[in-house]
Amino acid sequence: MIAFPPQPYCHLSQVTVVGAGNVGSTLAQRILERNLANVVLVDIVEDRPQGIALDLMQSRGCEGHNRTITGTNTYADTADSDIVVITAGLPRRPGMSRDDLTQVNGKIVMETVQRALDYSPHACIIVVTNPLDVMTYLAWTVSGLPSYRVMGMAGVLDSARFQTFIAMELGVPPRDVSAMVLGGHGDLMVPLPKYSTISGIPVNELLSQERLQALIERTRNGGAEIVQLLKQGGAYYAPASSTCLMVEAILHNQSRILPVAAYLEGQYGIQDLFLGVPCRLGLKGVEQVLELSLTEGEQAALSRSASSVKEQVQRCLQDLSV
Ligand code: APR
């Protein structure tokens, strides 16, 4: 028997993913297979997270990693997580208005954030549940955390979609394309061609205004196009990849500049709202909100998006008596 010397204390990162649906389980897989952290997957449905966890544990040998995943219905099992990702929610059903969905998911987000924070009071929160910007505001409100510890995942996904469509149009690899989309995660998002480049070349030098506009429209419609094709449920591969990028930036203290739904206190003329803007992400969470110079038209589009999100937040806070 070989005696191994005692190991010095080494903190193994742990990420809690709340919601073992399509986005949550795909995100768990990405986190494990990129060797970023151990994962605790929580869901309200009994046995589902346990089944997904067992399946993912059994793939470890083939995938060549030694990370662990626990599936559970009990928040005590999530204790001491570094990051809590909220993907729990219900999809919109026929006959349900947007406001109905906001109320239903609002209750779920408030409950799950509170229960997770009972066991991981210092965690960073990443919200994925839609309507994203409203849910992120609610999560922050009930969390009692400093605003830089709470953020929403939308800008990375919207920018990834814009990046994809530009790359497909030009026949270049997506990694050569850097795209930027600001604003709320909805029809009023604000893709910014001025800050979108191909290997440093501004996108409007390689694409006509007409083609660019078509790609912007497709980006705005990016989620709906997939819903229409799938018939049931929404996108989950790209949402999981986008969230995983944020998890990595935080855990590895990368200081990456990514567009995320962050709390604004006057930046871009917007007060007391979570909205998609470029941020520096690191161990602390949102370490800096970057203010880009915008044209009058871009600023007006961002303000329109902000007003729409603000109205939704106010209605939601009122409906839920928060
Ligand atoms: N606590 C824990 N889990 C819950 C709760 C709750 N109170 N309520 C619902 N859930 C779980 C469901 O049981 C389900 O497993 O949330 C999961 C949601 O999964 P899906 O319906 O597959 O939805 P998904 O496609 O993963 O999307 C999740 O992300 O991108 C957004 O719009 C999307 O809001 C949606 C969220």
pLDDT attached to residue 94:
74
CA of 23 to the centre of ligand 1 (A): 8
Shared fold status for 14-152 and 155-316:
no
- What phi-psi label fits residue 240: left (phi over 0), alpha (psi between -120 and 50 degrees) or beta? alpha
Residue of minimum CA distance from atom 28 in ligand 1: 87
> Phi, psi at residue 277, to the nearest 5°?
-145, 155
Q: pTM here?
A: 0.96
Weakly modelled stretches of the chain, pLDDT under 70:
1, 4-11
Domain extents for the chain?
14-152, 155-316
Q: Answer yes or no: 252 catalytic.
A: no
User: What's the fold here for domain 155-316?
Assistant: L-2-Hydroxyisocaproate Dehydrogenase; Chain A, domain 2 (3.90.110)
Q: How far is the CA of 184 from the centre of ligand 1 (A)?
A: 20
Mutating to test ligand 1, I would choose from 46, 73, 90 the residue with most ligand atoms within 8 A of its C-beta, which is 90
Identified catalytic residue from 11, 65, 122, 185: 185
pLDDT in tens, 251-295: 999 999 999 999 999 999 999 999 999 999 999 999 999 999 999
Q: Which CATH superfamily includes the segment(s) 14-152?
A: NAD(P)-binding Rossmann-like Domain (3.40.50.720)
Ligand 1 site-directed mutation target among 25, 41, 44, most atoms within 8 Å of CB: 44
Nearest Cα residue to atom 4 of ligand 1: 88
Q: Which residues contact 307 (CB under 8 A, 6 or more apart)?
A: none
Q: Which atom of ligand 1 is nearest to the CA of 26?
A: 26
The Å distance, Cα 89 to ligand 1 centre, comes to: 4
Q: Which protein residues are within 6 Å of ligand 1, measured from CB?
A: 18-24, 42-45, 87-89, 91, 108, 111-112, 128-130, 233-234, 236, 239
